């Protein structure tokens, strides 16, 4: 749906074709720990697809980087050697307040009064994610587990808007991984009537959604392909003693030469062989993993540029390997979003390794920066409507479930 199909009447949004649209704000902070994204969206129920019955238009998008001191605290919190319970407690409340400010900025940017916003959907900041089932002594039934902080009650109170948060745990309670969540938006917005598509997000973690033509809920598959920018970013951060936190425009990697033997060595990790549904995170591919990656490269005589090039090629290799193993049928085209979409060296390496066309998501007329924030606006609306907003074929849940906990202002 394009913005020109909408008109404002007073302070409400009404579709010119007679359908009603609602405002929702989505907030996302990803595993790259780079900051907070918020999108103010209009969401319209179409009725044309019972399982994916919405159209979504991004009316405004704002992004705020984490202050360096806060980012450092979050990185430490996500490390099992340095994370503490008291710091988790403090940042759960503090981040809620910060996310509320970014949501308010998105509403202001769109010229929307909070009174006219139905819901804020907030992903929060992932601190830890355990994608394997574990049985706690004395508890019994094994479960996966996940933790996102930034309390929804704080967001609701500060913005005055009902807030839905903590989406992942309902899927985990239903036997799923609690991730990936992006397939709900992908199937709603990006499926094609004829082509098989992969929507490849390259954030801190890489994840893909495999969309057959005109999919139903049981037709969509998605899973984490492995590290996205996480290993690249950590390698750059370690090599520059923190002066750089990522490879700007892939410039360092472009100066180096990838070492295929190092890539092959790290491709032997059990995660890549495991069949979907599957999820991963910083606990598997964080700074300790990057340190081992650097050590392996130094043993091969790699300089800094070669190391970054090898880490970048490694990410491309994990994505291509995932398609080779698990994409059946193989996609006709791949559309990339996330921070990795702005790394031309990574995109070139990915194009060289996959057997189909690769393009940025922006080629479909959708701002890739706003995609994940828009997802949580949509998921918040679905929660209010009582509609299942997980995709069991992607998460491994036993059933479709309605995810998200409601906090009133």
Does 201 share its domain with 65?
Answer: no
Asked if residue 205 and residue 178 are part of one domain, the reply reads no
Q: What is the mean pLDDT of the chain?
A: 91
The pLDDT value recorded for residue 13 is 32
> Mean per-residue pLDDT for 224-246?
96
Verify that 37 and 52 share a domain, yes or no: yes
Task: Answer yes or no: are the C-beta atoms of 262 and 297 closer than 8 Å.
Answer: yes
Instruction: Indicate whether 13 and 112 sit together in one domain.
Output: yes
d(CA 399, CA 393): 9
Portion of the chain with pLDDT greater than 90, in percent: 79
On whether both 214 and 349 belong to a single domain, the answer is yes
Same domain, 174 and 30: yes
Helix axes 304-326, 287-299, angle to 10 degrees: 110
215: domain CATH number is 3.30.420.40
Q: Mean pLDDT, to the nearest integer, of 305-328?
A: 98
Looking at the structure, tell me whether residues 347 and 311 fall in a common domain.
yes
DSSP designation for 296: H
Judge if pTM exceeds 0.75. Answer: yes
pLDDT bucket at 42, cuts 50 / 70 / 90 = very high
Same-domain status, 100 and 211: no
Which letter does DSSP use for residue 20 in this model? Answer: B
C-alpha distances (whole Å) from 24 to each of 64, 197, 202 are 19, 27, 25
Q: Provide the pLDDT confidence category of residue 242 given band limits of 50, 70 and 90.
A: very high
Sign of dihedral through CA atoms 344, 350, 352, 354? negative
Same domain for 379 and 359: no
Q: Are 155 and 26 in contact (CB under 8 A)?
A: no
Average pLDDT over residues 221-225: 94
Report whether pLDDT(387) > 50. Answer: yes
Q: Are residues 354 and 385 in the same domain?
A: no
300 lies in the same domain as 395: no
Question: Does residue 43 sit in the same domain as residue 119?
Answer: yes
pLDDT at 37 over 80: yes
8 has a pLDDT exceeding 50:
no
Express each pLDDT in 259-304 by its tens digit: 999 999 999 999 999 999 898 888 899 999 999 999 999 999 999 9
Structure confidence by residue, pLDDT tens digits, 14-34? 333 435 899 999 999 987 788
Q: Are strands 12-15 and 6-9 parallel, antiparallel or unpaired?
A: antiparallel
Angstrom CA distances, 378 to 43, 58, 166, stand at 7, 11, 15
Q: State the pairing for strand pair 405-407/163-165.
A: antiparallel
pLDDT digits (tens, 9 = 90+) for 112-168: 999 999 999 999 999 988 878 877 777 777 678 999 999 999 999 999 999 999 999
pLDDT band per the 50, 70, 90 thresholds, residue 79: confident
- Give the structural domain span for 239: 192-364
Once rounded to an integer, what is the mean pLDDT over residues 63-91?
93
Q: Look at residue 3 in the predicted model and tell me its pLDDT.
A: 33
Number of domains in the chain: 2
Residue-wise pLDDT for 191-212, tens only, equals 999 999 999 999 999 999 999 9
Q: What is the pLDDT of residue 122?
A: 98
Please tell me the predicted confidence (pLDDT) of residue 6.
31
Nearest partner of 3 among 362, 366, 376, 338, judged by Cα: 366
């Amino acid at each position: 749906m394009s913005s020109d199909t909408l008109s404002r009447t007073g302070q409400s949004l009404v579709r010119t074709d007679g359908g009603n649209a609602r405002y929702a704000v989505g907030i996302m902070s990803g595993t790259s720990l780079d900051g907070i994204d918020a999108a103010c969206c209009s969401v319209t129920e179409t009725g044309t697809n019972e399982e994916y019955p919405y159209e979504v238009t991004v009316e405004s998008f704002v992004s705020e980087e984490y202050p360096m001191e806060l980012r450092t605290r979050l990185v430490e919190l996500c490390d099992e050697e340095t994370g503490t319970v008291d710091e988790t407690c403090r940042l759960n409340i503090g981040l809620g307040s910060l996310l509320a400010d970014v949501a308010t900025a998105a509403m202001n940017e769109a010229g929307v009064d909070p009174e006219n916003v139905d819901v804020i959907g907030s992903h929060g900041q992932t601190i830890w994610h355990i994608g394997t089932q574990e049985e706690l002594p004395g508890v019994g039934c094994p479960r996966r587990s996940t933790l996102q902080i930034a309390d929804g009650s704080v967001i609701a109170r500060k913005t005055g808007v009902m807030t839905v948060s903590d989406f992942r745990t309902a899927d985990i309670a239903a036997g799923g991984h609690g991730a990936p969540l992006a397939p709900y938006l992908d199937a709603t917005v990006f499926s094609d009537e004829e082509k098989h598509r992969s929507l490849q997000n390259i954030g801190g973690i890489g994840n893909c959604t495999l969309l057959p033509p005109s999919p139903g809920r049981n037709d969509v598959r998605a899973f984490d392909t492995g590290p996205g920018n996480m290993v690249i970013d950590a390698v750059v951060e370690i090599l520059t003693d923190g002066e750089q936190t990522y490879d700007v425009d892939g410039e360092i990697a472009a100066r180096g030469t990838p070492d295929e033997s190092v890539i092959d060595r790290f491709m032997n990790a059990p995660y890549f062989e495991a069949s979907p549904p599957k999820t991963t995170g910083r606990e598997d591919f964080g700074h300790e993993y990057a340190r081992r990656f650097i050590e392996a490269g130094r043993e091969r005589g790699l300089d800094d540029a070669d190391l970054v090039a090898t880490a970048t090629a490694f990410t491309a290799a994990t994505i291509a390997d995932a398609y080779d193993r698990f994409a059946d049928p193989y996609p006709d085209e791949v559309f990339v979003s996330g921070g990795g979409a702005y790394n031309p060296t990574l995109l070139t390496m990915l194009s060289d390794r996959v057997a189909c066309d690769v393009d940025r998501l922006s080629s479909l007329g959708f701002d890739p920066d706003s995609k994940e924030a828009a997802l949580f606006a949509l998921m918040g609306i679905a929660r209010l409507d009582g509609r299942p907003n997980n995709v069991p074929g992607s998460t491994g849940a036993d059933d479709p479930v309605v995810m998200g906990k409601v906090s009133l202002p």
